[in-house]
Structures are given as C-alpha cells and as structure tokens.
Chains A and B, each alone.
Chain A
Amino acid sequence: MLKRDQLRAMHSAHQAMAALVAPPPRMWGSYGDGSWIVPPARIDGPEYIHVGAGVVIHEHVWLTAAAGPGPTPSLRIGDGASINRFVNIVCFESVTIGKDVLVADGAYISDVDYPAGRGGGEGAGLAAAGLDLVHPRPVVVGDGVFVGAGAIIKPGVTIGEFSYISAGSIVTEDVAERTLVAGAPARAMRRWDPAEGSPTDS
C-alpha cells in the first residue's frame, strides 16, 4: 500500500471520528470527578449538560441540549449513573437523571415530541398528532431507576425512585416509586416495598 493511501485512510478516519469525540470537561456545565465518556459519542450543547461524579457514558450515546424559545435548558445526570450504548437524550428545557441510574442500550429520553435532536424536518406531523415541539415538558428519572433496553420515555414523565422500566416499554404517564412497568404504553405490573427487596427477588 502506498504511503499516500495510508495518509488518506488516516485522514478519512480522522474526519469521520472528529465529530464524535466528547468535548473536554471545561466546556461542560459541570463535570464530576471520575466520569468517563467513551468515544465515539455525540455531545451537543455541553454547556447545558451537568454530569455528576463517577458517571460512565458509553459509546454512541448522543446527548443533545439545545436552547429553545423557553428557559435555559439543563440536562442533569446524577452521580454514578451509567448511560449505555446508543442512548439518545434530548433536552430543550429540563431532563434530570438521578443518582445510580442505569439506562440500558438504545433507550430514548426526550422532553419534546420529536424523534431527533436537531436539523432537517419541519415536523408538520407533530401538529397533526396534537403533539408539541415548541413547549417542552420536563422529564425526571428518579434515583436508582433502571431503564431497560430500547425503552422510550415520553415528554413530561416523572419516574419515581428505584422503579424498573422494562425493555422496550413506552412510558407515557408518571411512574410511582418502586414500581415495575412494562408494555406499550407502559403499565404498572408490580410494586414492592424496600423491605421486600428488588422485583427480581420475587
């Protein structure tokens, strides 16, 4: 292989990856000790994102915080949370992820009814479906919650602490604390007291 080809390969690989490298900690709203962003990751609007200590954000995660017409957006990720691969979190106003939350692969959390963070699409369908892009509704995920693989959390939802969102569920309504929900739309399947242990014990 020619040296020129090698350089060109390196250049294209670099071009491809340059957009997918996380910004340095000083550019973030706040950035706790020992937090890791595994490349490739897409972080848009890091100045609005607050990451706690010991957070791990795995590869191909896309965090979007974009200033809308409303107040300054704030995306908060609590201490010790783990955001797994392919997760997309969109924040136009307020998304709060609690401490020690595990968000499994491919989950989607957004405070606007819009399947994407930015660019393209006038999204006329949103108005037709009675959904609202312009007015975000805050999303809160409580401490110790597990969000299953591919789960969707719709705008305006509050999830109580230590709840368990099963894989692939679509959460359209608030979830009380220590509740297991599943299905589309998600329904409460089980509740438990802290004394009885986790739902997997039963």
Chain B
Amino acid sequence: MGTGLDAALPVRRRQRNLWHWQADKRREWQMAWATAQVLTPPPASAYGAFGESRVTAPARIGQKHCVHIGDGVFIDEGVWLSVVRPFDDITPRVVIEDNVRIGRFCAFGIAGDFTIARGAVIGDFTMVVDTIHPPEAEDRLHAVARPQPVHIGEGAVIATHVVILPGVTIGAGAYVEHHSVVGKDVAPGDYVAGYPARRRSLAKTPA
C-alpha cells in the first residue's frame, strides 16, 4: 500500500484496493485463528482427567470431557482423537492409563468405550476405531454402527500403520506387527501379524 505503483491510480481505485487488501488480511487472520483453535491441544482442565502428561501440537481432540488421561502419557503430533457421540444413550469414554505412548498421526474413531492400559505403546499412523460406517447402510457417510468396546492391554505394543477394528481386545504384553489389520481378539503375550492379523511363530522374526 502506498507504493509508487499504487499512487499512480485514481483515488477511488486506491481506496478499493486498500479495502480488498484489508479484507484479505482479515480473512488470513481468521484462518490462522481457527487453525490454531482446532490444532492447539486443549488445556488440562478441559479433559475428564489429565495427569502429568504431554500432548504435542498439532493435535485434534474431540469431546475432551470424555477423555481421561493418566500420568506419563505422551501423545505425539498430528494425533486425531475423534471422540463423538452419535447415540444419545451411549456416552463415549476414553481411558488412557499411565505411561502410554501414542505415536504421530494416529487416528482414533471412538463413540463408546476405549481403554489403553498402562504402559502400552502405539506406533505411528495406527488407526483404532470402535465403530464403523456400516457397509449396508443407505446413507453410509452419515450412518454409524453401534460401538463395540476396544481394549488395549497392559504393556502391549502396537507397531506402525496398524488398523484395529471394533470390539477387539488386545491382551497384555501382545505385539502387533507393522501394517497388521486386527479384527479379532489377540491373546495376552501373542505375536500377531498380517492382514488379517494371525498368530505367527516367532521363529521367523529376527531376534
């Protein structure tokens, strides 16, 4: 504004340019503000419970009052904890116990009960859902199936790029290999891999 180039224009035109420039700036600020609002982790008081833990920005946390986080939990950047309430009779409840670590860019679609027990580790890009958009539904985009509780046991290790489907219980100390898709329960201490995830022998893994 006020450059030599602009000064050569008629006054009315300059005013209009200024107005457009201001409107653009305002829109830019509004965008930055909205983005910061969405991606800045909420304060500890917004959660149902929050111990000595850290959520790295940017992170998206929905329905924060339904999320209970213990001590020593690390949630890395880009995590989307989508907690929604599609059914009036079901209040979602997410419990993340002590010393859990959730990797970058993980996504959670939770409408019911979801528990991560103490000391579990979830790798990057893992997705956990306790409900699906039912394939047979007419309006599939908006229809949501009744949630089935998902539980990840104490000290379990979920590697990267894993998908965990509704109703799955992962036993304590289990290891889920990279890129697995888990549709059935995993017994405590098991090593599962593949799509669908099956119990594998440890002989094949380098140890």
Bound pair (A, B): yes
- Which residues does A use to contact B, with CB under 8 Å? 1, 5-6, 8-10, 12-13, 15-16, 19-20, 40, 42, 60, 62, 86, 88, 106, 108, 114-116, 118-132, 137, 150, 152, 154-157, 168, 170, 172-173, 184-185
Contact sample, A vs B, 11 pairs, CB 8 Å cutoff: A1-B30, A6-B29, A62-B104, A116-B103, A122-B99, A123-B157, A124-B154, A125-B120, A128-B155, A150-B179, A184-B193
Given A16-B58, A115-B124, A124-B156, list of 13 further CB < 8 A pairs? A1-B29, A12-B36, A13-B32, A13-B36, A40-B77, A86-B124, A88-B160, A120-B102, A125-B175, A130-B202, A130-B205, A137-B206, A170-B178
- Given the interface contacts A1-B29, A129-B205, does A120 sit within 8 Å of B73 by beta carbon? yes
Q: Which of B29-66 contact A (CB under 8 A)?
A: 29-30, 32-33, 35-36, 39-40, 54, 56-58
Give min CB distance, A93 to chain B, whole Å.
15
Interchain CB contact under 8 A, A114 and B121? yes
Q: Is B159 an interface residue (CB 8 A)?
A: yes
Give min CB distance, A102 to chain B, whole Å.
19
B side interface size, CB within 8 A: 60
For the complex, give the distance between the alpha carbons of A116 and B102 in Å: 9
Interchain CB contact under 8 A, B58 and A124? no
Interchain CB contact under 8 A, B207 and A125? no
Q: Which of B120-149 contact A (CB under 8 A)?
A: 120-125
| Chain B binding surface SS class | loop
For the complex, give the distance between the alpha carbons of A118 and B56 in Å: 13
- Given the interface contacts A16-B39, A121-B99, does A6 sit within 8 Å of B33 by beta carbon? yes
Q: Which residues of A contact B178 (CB under 8 A)?
A: 108, 115, 152, 170, 184
Interchain CB contact under 8 A, A123 and B161? no
Q: How many contacts between A and B, using CB within 8 angstroms?
A: 163
Residue of B nearest to A40 (CB): B77
Leading 5 A-B pairs by shortest Cβ distance: A120-B101, A124-B155, A115-B123, A129-B175, A121-B121
Q: Which residues of A contact B120 (CB under 8 A)?
A: 121, 125
- Given the interface contacts A9-B36, A108-B124, A115-B124, does A131 sit within 8 Å of B175 by beta carbon? yes
For the complex, give the distance between the alpha carbons of A132 and B206 in Å: 10
Residue of B nearest to A150 (CB): B161
Q: Which residues of A contact B100 (CB under 8 A)?
A: 120-121
For the complex, give the distance between the alpha carbons of A164 and B204 in Å: 22
